Amino acid sequence: MGVVEFRLLGPVCVVRAGVEVPLSGVKIHTVLAVLLLARGGLVGDGRLSAALWGEVPPPSANAQLHTYVSRLRKVLGPGVGIVRKASGYVLCAEGAGVDLFVFERLERLGRRALEEGRREEAGRLLGRALACWAGPALQNVSEHLQQFERPRLEFLRAQALEHRIEADLALGRHRLLVPELLSLVARFPVDENLRAHLVTALHRCDRQAEAVRVYGEGRRILDEQLGVVPGRRLCGAYLRMLRGEGGPDAGGGRRAPRRPSGGLPAPSPPASPP
């Protein structure tokens, strides 16, 4: 029969014994995703209907839902049950793997290791957690379910990435991080945490002029797009560079900190907390 794996972190799919099980249509993928996200709990007909059709289900919604569940049962085969209870369904797949659950476990362990100062282990665990992702979560489900669930999942991914970057910076891997951070900041220009990490990594690589440009660009983008000044995280990274704290090769233990050259612009005052 083979081991069954469910994947939500990317296109929703089912893999049995290493071979993807063919599923057809957005609606089938949506029903499967909702049942998996319930973690073995009861999913009411109303919740499934909202995920499939939003606030305006068709008159035949109940009949269509029954059809989708029946088709899914046939495709999943033995070892995976979808049980009707009250006015809803429960997916029973004991022993099956779900990439989201694996990610959450590894992320939790990695975060704990980072908090306890076990940085090498933290970086390894968080790297494995991020490797569970194959793209944006829930790619082939309804727009309604994406609106409900994708922001939360993408936030968890962003947190894991930030923690992994923190671990790598603490281990002196700033030179390896710079290309990745440059790409991330280009994709997410208003993310102050990523920009702060890039400022720190560039400073530790003795690339203060580039760090100044990254900070200045961030200050301009935040003002133009959000109408705010840099917050404490970004300002703190910039101020540490101005003071020569945690200078070139910090974390690697090879060189003493060196103050950057003069003429650097003063940081904006950090935004006050709401």
Domain extents in the chain: 4-97, 174-274
| 43-44: strand order across its sheet | 43-44, 88-92, 81-85
Which of 45-49, 109-113, 125-129, 263-267 shows the lowest per-residue confidence on average (mean pLDDT)? Answer: 263-267
For the record, the structure tokens of 192 come out as 């102050």
Mean pLDDT, all residues of the chain? 89
Residue 141 CA to residue 212 CA, distance in Å, equals 42
Task: List all residues 6 or more positions away from 209 whose beta carbon is below 8 Å from its beta carbon.
Answer: none
The CA angle 140-142-147, to the nearest 5 degrees, is 105
Tell me the pLDDT band of 191, cut-offs 50, 70 and 90: very high
Among 38, 34, 37, which Cα is nearest to 53's? 34
Share above pLDDT 90 across residues of the chain, in percent, rounded to a whole number: 82
Class at the top of the CATH hierarchy for domain 174-274: mainly alpha
For the record, the structure tokens of 224 come out as 């133009």
Residues 96-120, mean pLDDT to the nearest whole number: 97
- The pTM of the full predicted model, rounded to 2 decimals, is 0.85
Confidence (pLDDT) at 1? 55
Residues 63-89, mean pLDDT to the nearest whole number: 92
For every residue of 123-157, DSSP letters joined together read HHHHHHHHTT--SSSSTTS-HHHHHHHHHHHHHHH
Query: In this model, does residue 135 exceed pLDDT 60?
Result: yes
Tell me the pLDDT band of 247, cut-offs 50, 70 and 90: low
Is residue 236 within a helix (H) or strand (E), and if so which, with residue range? helix 232-242
CATH 1.10.10.10 holds for 4-97: yes
Query: In this model, does residue 47 exceed pLDDT 80?
Result: yes
Which of 7-21, 106-120, 248-262 shows the lowest per-residue confidence on average (mean pLDDT)? Answer: 248-262
Residues 175-200, mean pLDDT to the nearest whole number: 96
Residue 191 CA to residue 231 CA, distance in Å, equals 11
